[in-house]
Amino acid sequence: MTRSEAEQKQFIRMTETPIPRLVTTLAIPTIFTMLIGAFYNMADTFFVARLGTSAAGAVGIVFAVMAIIQALGFMVGIGTGSHVSRALGKQERATADKFASSGFLLALFFGALLTTFGLLFTEPLMVLLGATPTILPFARDYAGFIFMGAIVMCGSIVMNNILRSEGKAVLSTVGLGFGGLLNVALDPIFIFQFKLGIAGAAIATLISQCVSFGILFYFFCSGKSITRLSWKSVSRQAADYLEILKLGFSSFCRQGLAGISTVALNVSAAAYGDSAVAAMSIVGRIFFFLLAMLIGFGQGFQPVAGYNYGAKRFERVKESFRFCVKTGTIFLSCVGAVGFLFAPQLISLFKVNDPAVIAIGATAFRAQCVALPLQATIVLSNMLFQSIGKALQATLISATRQGIYFLPLILILPRYFGLAGIEFTQSISDVFAFSSAVPFLIFFFRSLNREIQKRESAETENLTCGQAA
């Protein structure tokens, strides 16, 4: 099969396959990928927690670093993927190759900057991110290797997003999934058998990221992807890079603000000791795992929305969004109910010998379980606007949950409610974020309905004229 034939076959698949089957088919591998990534993050927390409360707190500190690295990677990756999917929807292959190649190069550049800056200023950064004197040595050892992997992490994120935007979700799953499973397998070996402690967890992460990068890069070099990474296709126009960054900025806001909010959370929790920092770190990792399933499901939705919006199949855009929000809300409601009932048991899996960590973590976990069903609307509305090129709406929605609302609340609530203010800040932010996303959705779908009506009227008029002739 020639490249053009494969491209046409994929176009037909993305624009004609029934929505529930198409989204589910694309979502299963991306959910698997996200779960593996979240699982190895939880595995780091699980194994490192065996080294003590301060070591568990260090994972939460360095999680902010990883959030920053991922913020830049996803900013470029989501912006690139949005352009690629819409270009393929319009059947403009050269444009898709241009944005894929340019986005990949931009990711490597950002990764190199992060590696250089991070390695030069590791210790002061850890202090700035909320490390206490007892947590600092663990955080410093962990963060050094994470910074070394910034280049391959950013590059892998972009290649993963390009493959997903093509509808090649299985390939992205193979690359990231294999690396994630390798990370889980290497953690206990490096931490305990080689007696490297928390540095062993970071080394295992670095090795797994390099393996994932190599697998994903092979897919592009071997012709298994629709788009091609080529120096000839790299754009020489600054406007193209600005377009990538503009569309991906909402992801940068979401991921970057997640890092900033983690710092603010760590600083606020540090006033209540290492147990509070460790508890909030564990809660964050568990919820990252839960939301990974929703994000993976949404990543199956994004190429469907992008392809069909580019092809002007607006009814399919509406149908896919409704299907995903309904399914996501029902799923998260069930998960939230189970999590609320068994919160202490879940927290104790990570830190069985510290009652303070379990008590603080269980309260915060239950508070977030109550607001968990709202995440389907929040996350999927942001993904919708990213996929169709609505950068402003996507950015504003992504900035609400862990920025516009969370940051003021994490500064204000602990002053009046103490530790409870820290435990309840995220759930209150989620309620406000949901309330902000709904008006954007109402306005967008009203405008989309008008476009559908215009097209139907034009088709009816053309049919009438043809019959009259």
Report whether pLDDT(454) > 90: no
**466 inside domain:** no
**3 inside domain:** no
pLDDT confidence band for 468 (50 / 70 / 90): low
**216 inside domain:** yes
298 vs 376: CA distance, rounded Å: 9
365 vs 352: CA distance, rounded Å: 16
Instruction: Give the mean pLDDT of 254-274.
Output: 81
Mean of the per-residue pLDDT values of the chain? 88
Report whether pLDDT(390) > 90: no
96 vs 163: CA distance, rounded Å: 12
Q: How high is the pLDDT of residue 250?
A: 72
Q: How many domains does the chain have?
A: 1
Q: How high is the pLDDT of residue 467?
A: 59
**2 inside domain:** no
146 φ/ψ angles, rounded to the nearest 5 degrees: -65, -40
**62 inside domain:** yes
Check residues 186 and 456 and name the one with the higher pLDDT: 186
**250 inside domain:** yes
**12 inside domain:** no
Please tell me whether residue 207 adopts helix, strand or coil conformation. helix
Tokens of 305: 């929305």
Q: Contact at 8 Å (CB) between 155 and 104?
A: yes
Please give the residue range of the domain that contains residue 406.
17-459
Instruction: Give the mean pLDDT of 14-31.
Output: 89
Residue 60 sits at the vertex; the CA angle it makes with 173 and 267, to the nearest 5 degrees, is 140
Report whether pLDDT(464) > 70: no
Percent of the chain topping pLDDT 90: 50
Residue tagged 């009814």 (tokens): 315
C-alpha closest to that of 210 among 167, 179, 234: 179
Report whether pLDDT(334) > 90: yes
Query: What is the distance in angstroms between the CA of the first residue and the CA of the last residue of the chain?
Result: 42
Report whether pLDDT(351) > 70: no
Please tell me whether residue 413 adopts helix, strand or coil conformation. helix
Q: How high is the pLDDT of residue 179?
A: 85
Tokens of 66: 């990883």
340 vs 321: CA distance, rounded Å: 28
In tens, the pLDDT along 219-234 reads 999 989 999 999 999 9
Report whether pLDDT(3) > 70: no
Report whether pLDDT(211) > 70: yes
Q: How high is the pLDDT of residue 288?
A: 79
Q: How high is the pLDDT of residue 49?
A: 76
In this prediction the pTM is 0.71
**5 inside domain:** no
